[in-house]
Structure formats: C-alpha cells, structure tokens
Amino acid sequence: MMPALSMGELRGEMRYDEPLSRHTSWRVGGPARRFYQPADSADLVTFLAGLEPDEPLLWLGLGSNLLVRDAGFPGTVVAIQGRLNALTLQAPGIIRAEAGVACAKVARFAARAGLRGAEFLAGIPGTLGGALAMNAGAFGGEVWQKVLKVETVDRSGRFRERTARDYAVGYRQVTGPEGEWFIAGCLQLEAGDVEAAQVEIRRLLERRAATQPTSQPSCGSVFRNPPGNHAARLIEAAGLKGYAIGGARVSDKHANFIVNTGNASASDIEALIEYVQDEVQRTSGVRLITEVHSVGEAL
C-alpha cells in the first residue's frame, strides 16, 4: 500500500520492512524500514524531493559489493535495478546506460553494436551505477577508463551532467561532488567487430566461471588488491582458504571471495572479514582494505 507521504503522486512501488536478504548477492541482511522502487527517473525526482532532509538513504542495484547487517537498514532504500534501465547508442561510439542497467548487459549491448572496449564489464556482477560509484573493474579494465560523462541527481531531485574531470578516480574509489548519486553514464568506445567482441565476452565469462565461485552467494571480491600484490595470494599464504565462521567461508576456488554456504548471517561474514584482515596482517604485515561496503545495524 502506498504511504501517505507529502511528495506528490508517486508511480513506483513502496514496501515496508523489506528483507534485504532478497536483494543482496550474499543473500543476507535484515529489513529496510522503507524500500522504494521508482517507476523511472522522473518518479525518482518526485520521491527524492519529498524526503525528509535527515532520512538515511541507501542506493541499491544488484546488491553485490554490499553487506547489510542483520538488523537491517533504518532508513529508505532506493532500488534502481530494472527501473533505471534505459540503454541506448547515443552517438557513434557512445553508449548511454542508466544506473540500474547490469554491467554485463552493457557489455553485450556494446558488442552487438560493433563496439569494443566494454567486454570487461561482463565480469562485473553489478549495475553501472555501482560500478561508477567505486570504479569497478575486471580483467584489467576499469569503468572510469571509458567514461565520457555522467548524469547525477541530488537529494532535492536536481539533475546535473558532469564530465570525468569533476571526479578524482583511483583504484576502486571515486571522489566527487557530495550529495549526488549517479543515474546514468555515457561510455566512449571504439569501433570493432561484433563477432570478435562476443567471442571475447564468452572467453572472459568462461575464465570467471573457472576461477571464481559463481555458483555460490558472494559479493564479488571482498578486498582491494594491495599495491604490487594480490589479496587472494596473501589470504592463501595465510592458510585461510576454506576457513569458516558459521555459514561464511573463504572460498576454496578464489581466496578473495567469501561465500555464503547456505546459512550465513551478516555477522558471520563480518567476523570472517575481520579475522582474515587480522591473520593477513599477522602473517604478511599487510592490512587488507575492503572493497565491500557494510551498512545497517547489527543485532
């Protein structure tokens, strides 16, 4: 049932106490107090404009790279996957994708359009919005290497168009104007061969399936690679492959993945992350930094 909110006529869907375990790739997480799926970008503007200024907000795509704690999120989740989903060839060599489009879909669209340079996106298990927010990467490519411009929205519902020069971009981190969220991005790609691009995507997906635990719930890579090293190598050297706390386990297939073996809680995963950090620091002197973003409250 639509809530009585002083924000005009909404066309999206509002849910209350929505279990976020249904919407995260780890399949854990307590409920969101409110969970809103906007009908489109115009509806999103109406929704944002009517929010209380101190309302906690969490933007949610495919729910990868995200750990929601067991007591849930005490605010409003804006779920954009499958909602902000426009994907177009805007000009020769330029693809515009809204933030809710899965990265793998962008890769396949670019290949069919005879463009190259986006194949690596097939290996990123999230939406373009999340990829823009953290400069996600796979197979040696990073999303901001391809960004021509982005579109953002702020808390009041105001749209802006920005170029890559407005952001400081590094390895798995992006710093830009505060209080704005990505709603679309334009990627500059090069002319290529359709068949060759599709073959490359299949090759990368086969490589991902062979080296990562794609059949088990995970968030993707848990830790950033330290300079000149690999997190998986350090974790394996610490003897932690297969180590488990509760239902959370360091993958036997790829040590930088923590999988939910079926009954993990968010607290199991968080405890395992901290244990891995402590053991790697003890054995190698390196303190691993997480890629995954933890939100919400513990029980």
- Rounded distance between C-alpha atoms, residue 256 and residue 212, angstroms: 9
The residue among 172, 278, 293, 287 whose CA lies nearest residue 231 is 287
**Active site annotation includes 83:** no
Catalytically annotated residue among 34, 96, 108, 172: 172
Give the CA-trace dihedral at 200, 133, 165, 111, to 10 degrees.
Answer: 20
Residue 215 annotated among the catalytic residues of the structure: no
Residue 123 tokens, joined: 């290996």
Residues whose CB falls within 8 Å of the CB of residue 208, separated by 6 or more in sequence, listed in order: 122, 123, 138, 214
3-state SS class at 201: helix
Please pick, among 21, 64, 218, 221, the residue that the annotation labels catalytic.
221
Residue 291 falls in the annotated catalytic set: yes
List the beta strands (DSSP E) in the chain.
13-19, 31-37, 57-60, 66-68, 73-79, 87-91, 94-98, 115-116, 137-138, 141-142, 147-154, 159-163, 168-170, 173-175, 180-188, 190-191, 244-245, 248-250, 258-260, 293-295
Task: Count CB-CB contacts under 10 A for residue 21.
Answer: 20
For residue 172, how many C-alpha atoms fall within 13 Å in the half-sphere facing its CB?
Answer: 17
- Contact residues for 90 (Cβ-Cβ < 8 A; gap 6+): 96, 186
Q: Catalytic positions, please?
A: 172, 221, 291
